[in-house]
Structure 1
């Protein structure tokens, strides 16, 4: 009886397709076994050889075959490479280990062949190995029908199968990482919901708060602020989860919308437009067949990470800390009359060196980044009706209101006053 394998560890459909293709290409019998030697997959239900079927129908035949497979699987796992052996009945078989994260799940068994044409000595050995067989002459006749596979062809088949199995394993490790990430995400959502209940925070009754948070998230994307973007995204997903009550279609619409908005924010933040649009297209295809809310959330988190990486591509890792610290310093002190010299002195490096790093690593000047931060902060402050345009200008570090209006219009497309009036 076939024993099932946890589909979280190995995709049965993909396993069967891959092993079936190997069988069709080589003509060799193949089956997957667990660590106890029990078969859990025979692709396409291809039958074992007549010889093997006859051996297995004998008294203790199944048990002895299983014991042979179990020992072979153990040896293959121990050496982490194809292991050739002769089964208890005398056939040549090889086992290729299935190893995921250093743990053996079993092996792929291949062969049930001979390596040389059967002769007098082979039949003598065959009779000795199968002393309790019902009819040796019948077994002998069946042995003559077995395929003879040369040692070189057997080794080549084992090597090819090893590559196939490694491909399956690599693919599955990615799946396991996705499962782990999805579980962690579920825990984070549950934790945030519990925290909101503990603090007696009101439930999300409409989308106004959600959209406000979404705008804040997009602002962090444009600034390349990974930490705040990740935190806000997690809060957004919790809002979406509670608001939609897990309705798949609504979640899908919102996720597609969020991905599109994020892609545009990433381009505005400095990412390559062609690359971002290509990634967005691939993302839209990926989520077509998704049937779980958690998978949608996982996918949006991954694409956001990719977009953020595209905003500021740091080519030389030794400069990451310097550039990051410079950005953090600007974020904390944008309201002050900052200069390139101020930032450089804070980092104890020369102004010219810091300016070169920004141009090479971030593809923008320090003043460009400072201006971007100030405008983004101004947009947030303008949502508070008690602040005038002049006060907003001063609060974000512009001492000249006329210059502030000019810069704001360049980035946002309208003057500060027009933008402020549109909010109320």
Structure 2
């Protein structure tokens, strides 16, 4: 955000919706003011009371109101909490500061009440400070209609308003972060498309068959919890979709929803909690329904797939993250070898028992379970190639015994390798 001010920071419609409701619920007058104390908006359609309107009807008196506001909001900003003050006309008002990244933007002003019924001392002070500009009798008449709020009620209202304003600030920070993400994604999309134009022809991406092959590889990475490769593949898939659909929103939305749905199932197969995965997918489907911009589609689907991947390997102890990640990558790169727990542990310079414990505690599976999962995923890829026989695939992924390979493949996929291969051709 280049211009740090309250006008560009707060969403006027949402401000009115939330603080307008607060005003209606409490019956209190609320204003949004900038750093100079100038009123930007009166919220909740509750105008200033007759007393304040009369005080502000005189230009010099109104300047005093502005000076009171400015002094109060500066004090509120120093302490970052509600600040109570008495304006030059005797009204009790409180200011709640709006602070973003340690920058003071303005305040929400609330109150315009009295804490007690006006007595002789109050009227004497009122006359003393305003008789030069305003008719005292009119002031005394209007002050009788002012609302009375006890100190407890006023403090409770100020505390509640502080919570509401903090919610508004956090919401706008989130909105700004999303807008930054959308901007970065927009630049990335532009760069990807320009690179494709330099190195490829559009005809290369018209065939959905090629897209579906990439999609299967992508889902395989998800099942294995290979976040880096999954994210790189996702980037390529989304650029393919944008090229194929020419940015047409309806078709793009269908494909993105389809990709998210397939990803949720792959995540469950990889070990993510099914109930949580389906709940995340449901929220995603609702969230994406009214999206208009292409970059929003891409940011949202990237976010939800990252969540699925986190669900597969939800590491409880962050200090083990590097070890588990390195072990997983070592298996993915060496699955075709006669890989053992000891060989992997030696590569990581840790004991086999420690590595075994990490797999069980952090990944909720054994070393051999994960190795087998990787081998079966690679077998599925190879069986789709006509030039590979079942025996060749078995050997290529590290199985010495073809019968054992068939047994393991059937356990994971549901059919034998031969039946699976024959169903493809």
Structure 1 residue 406 corresponds to structure 2 residue 410: no
Query: Take 1:91 and 1:228, find their aligned partners in 2: how far apart are those partners?
Result: 64
What does residue range 13-412 of structure 1 map to in structure 2 within 5 Å?
Answer: 13-200=13-200, 202=202, 204-412=205-413
Query: Take 2:127 and 2:183, find their aligned partners in 1: how far apart are those partners?
Result: 56
Give the TM-score, by structure 1 length: 0.92
Query: Take 2:37 and 2:239, find their aligned partners in 1: how far apart are those partners?
Result: 45
1:107 is displaced (CA, Å) by 0.8
1:418 is displaced (CA, Å) by 3.5
Q: Are the counterparts in 1 of residues 97 and 104 from structure 2 also a CA contact under 8 Å?
A: yes
5+ residue gaps, structure 2, are none
Q: Are the counterparts in 2 of residues 90 and 129 from structure 1 also a CA contact under 8 Å?
A: no
1:166 is displaced (CA, Å) by 1.3
Q: Are the counterparts in 1 of residues 31 and 108 from structure 2 also a CA contact under 8 Å?
A: yes
1:364 is displaced (CA, Å) by 1.0
Question: Which stretch has the larger CA shift, 166-175 or 137-146?
Answer: 166-175
Query: Take 1:115 and 1:264, find their aligned partners in 2: how far apart are those partners?
Result: 61
Runs of 4+ in structure 1 displaced over 6 angstroms? none
Q: In the superposition, relative to structure 1, how do residues 39 and 247 fare at CA in structure 2: closer, same or farther (>3 Å)?
A: farther
1:423 is displaced (CA, Å) by 3.8
Query: Take 2:27 and 2:97, find their aligned partners in 1: how far apart are those partners?
Result: 20
Query: Take 2:423 and 2:350, find their aligned partners in 1: how far apart are those partners?
Result: 44
Give the TM-score, by structure 2 length: 0.92
SS in 1 for 2:59: coil
Query: Take 2:207 and 2:62, find their aligned partners in 1: how far apart are those partners?
Result: 64
Question: Which stretch has the larger CA shift, 196-205 or 92-101?
Answer: 196-205
Query: Take 1:34 and 1:236, find their aligned partners in 2: how far apart are those partners?
Result: 46
5+ residue gaps, structure 1, are none
Q: In the superposition, relative to structure 1, how do residues 206 and 53 fare at CA in structure 2: closer, same or farther (>3 Å)?
A: farther
Q: In the superposition, relative to structure 1, how do residues 10 and 235 fare at CA in structure 2: closer, same or farther (>3 Å)?
A: farther
SS in 2 for 1:133: coil
Q: Are the counterparts in 1 of residues 24 and 44 from structure 2 also a CA contact under 8 Å?
A: no
Q: In the superposition, relative to structure 1, how do residues 333 and 102 fare at CA in structure 2: closer, same or farther (>3 Å)?
A: same
Q: In the superposition, relative to structure 1, how do residues 131 and 242 fare at CA in structure 2: closer, same or farther (>3 Å)?
A: farther
1:30 is displaced (CA, Å) by 1.0
Query: Take 2:237 and 2:128, find their aligned partners in 1: how far apart are those partners?
Result: 72
1:315 is displaced (CA, Å) by 1.6
Give the equivalent residue in structure 1 for 2:7.
5
Query: Take 1:138 and 1:30, find their aligned partners in 2: how far apart are those partners?
Result: 24
Query: Take 2:136 and 2:122, find their aligned partners in 1: how far apart are those partners?
Result: 13
Q: Deviations over 1:57-80 (max 9, x none)?
A: 212454443333233222222221
Query: Take 1:355 and 1:371, find their aligned partners in 2: how far apart are those partners?
Result: 15
1:360 is displaced (CA, Å) by 1.5
Q: Report how many aligned residue pairs link the two structures.
A: 420
SS in 2 for 1:122: helix
Query: Take 1:240 and 1:39, find their aligned partners in 2: how far apart are those partners?
Result: 48
SS in 2 for 1:85: strand
1:368 is displaced (CA, Å) by 1.0
Q: In the superposition, relative to structure 1, how do residues 13 and 196 fare at CA in structure 2: closer, same or farther (>3 Å)?
A: same
Query: Take 1:374 and 1:403, find their aligned partners in 2: how far apart are those partners?
Result: 13
Q: Are the counterparts in 1 of residues 88 and 129 from structure 2 also a CA contact under 8 Å?
A: yes
Query: Take 2:194 and 2:68, find their aligned partners in 1: how far apart are those partners?
Result: 53
Question: Which stretch has the larger CA shift, 377-386 or 245-254?
Answer: 377-386
Query: Take 1:397 and 1:186, find their aligned partners in 2: how far apart are those partners?
Result: 43
1:324 is displaced (CA, Å) by 1.4
1:201 is displaced (CA, Å) by 5.1
Q: Are the counterparts in 1 of residues 73 and 107 from structure 2 also a CA contact under 8 Å?
A: yes
Query: Take 2:90 and 2:232, find their aligned partners in 1: how far apart are those partners?
Result: 62
Query: Take 1:125 and 1:398, find their aligned partners in 2: how far apart are those partners?
Result: 95
1:84 is displaced (CA, Å) by 1.6
Q: Deviations over 1:322-367 (max 9, x none)?
A: 2111111101111111011111121222222211221111111111
Q: Deviations over 1:304-336 (max 9, x none)?
A: 111111111212223222211111110111111
1:401 is displaced (CA, Å) by 2.5
Query: Take 1:394 and 1:156, find their aligned partners in 2: how far apart are those partners?
Result: 74
Q: In the superposition, relative to structure 1, how do residues 172 and 339 fare at CA in structure 2: closer, same or farther (>3 Å)?
A: same
Query: Take 1:40 and 1:240, find their aligned partners in 2: how far apart are those partners?
Result: 45
Q: Are the counterparts in 2 of residues 101 and 173 from structure 1 also a CA contact under 8 Å?
A: no
Q: Deviations over 1:172-200 (max 9, x none)?
A: 22222222222222222222222222334
Q: In the superposition, relative to structure 1, how do residues 206 and 64 fare at CA in structure 2: closer, same or farther (>3 Å)?
A: farther
